[in-house]
Amino acid sequence: HFPFARTTGESCPSCMPAVLHDWAALLKPQSEIRALAEAETPLRVWIDIGTSYRSLATWDLEHNSSLIVVGIDAMRKHLEHQRQSKSPRFLPVEGACSAANRDTVTFYAHGSHTCGTMLKTAQGGPAIGSGSWACTGDTPRTLTVPIFHLDKLIHSLRKRLPEHRLEFLKLDVQGAELDCLRSGKAELAHVDNILLEVQDVTTASKLGLYEGAPGINALDSFLDTVGFRRQYCEWNRFTRQIRELNCMYSNVRKTNVTWLWATGNVKKDRSMVSYGKNRRNYLHLDFVKQLQTATFLGDRM
């Protein structure tokens, strides 16, 4: 499952594969993926970029045998963590998602498992957490990690699972969401729903965590060009004080899109999604009802 073999936490250019984007070698053959899903039809495919040390989809993997989750993280230790999903339908991939036309990128590993990023900390920004839970305000370790392009991944999944639905893409990459999305190019048209993290803050507020992180308007504008509209945003439970949100976008050009509600907050004993227009009670979403940087709250608001 790990195409980029190197010692955890270290840079090893000589260990890089000859063809960085050889997704045929990275992912399991179509027949084997089907077998993992116990031959249920149709398969549901999720991509979890920035999966950290425990995928938010862990409960769903344990309770829904038709689901396959491609879990991606720039740090191998997160993919091998004892709390990471052990399901055979969790396909771990090591790499950082970026549109950059090179093989590797500098990655800043902060104290917290959930706060690795390709972006530098914003000067004068807030210090979030401390010690092993620091997201900013600490001195991060600097690593060299491999880059992958999202369009290559989506194309590979479609080729191996042509009759199955890529219904959900989750992005939590600490301010690099737009960079990753741009690498998806036209292949994003094959995705039903996208959930991503973003801060709703002005420059004057000094609440921005990372240099160059896009705001809601920049994400809205780009995703509109590939057929997505924002549906709603929810508060990130632990970082509401810095106006960090999880925003849901749905494909409005594709026919028969899966209607999905999803949360970016941890749900240990229940699903992170609800299907259908009537959201189920088990999925509580703390909707954002007023934005500082946009007036549009979302199609479902």
The helices-and-strands tally (H runs, E runs) of the chain is 7, 13
Q: Is the pLDDT of residue 40 over 60?
A: no
The one-character DSSP state at 60 is H
CA distance 158 to 165: 9
Residue 19: pLDDT band with limits 50, 70, 90: very low
Residue 41: pLDDT band with limits 50, 70, 90: low
Mean pLDDT rounded to a whole number for the chain: 87
- Reported CATH class of domain 42-251: alpha beta
pLDDT tens profile 234-256: 999 999 999 999 999 999 999 99
pLDDT tens profile 64-73: 988 999 999 9
pLDDT of the residue at 43: 82
Domains in the chain: boundaries: 42-251
pLDDT tens profile 180-201: 999 999 999 999 999 999 999 9
pLDDT of the residue at 295: 96
Q: How large is the average pLDDT for residues 259-268?
A: 94
Integer CA distances (angstroms), 221 to 29, 111, 117, 224, 230, in order:
36, 33, 23, 5, 10
Integer CA distances (angstroms), 263 to 187, 195, 236, 246, 288, in order:
24, 8, 9, 7, 13
**Does the pTM exceed 0.85?**
yes
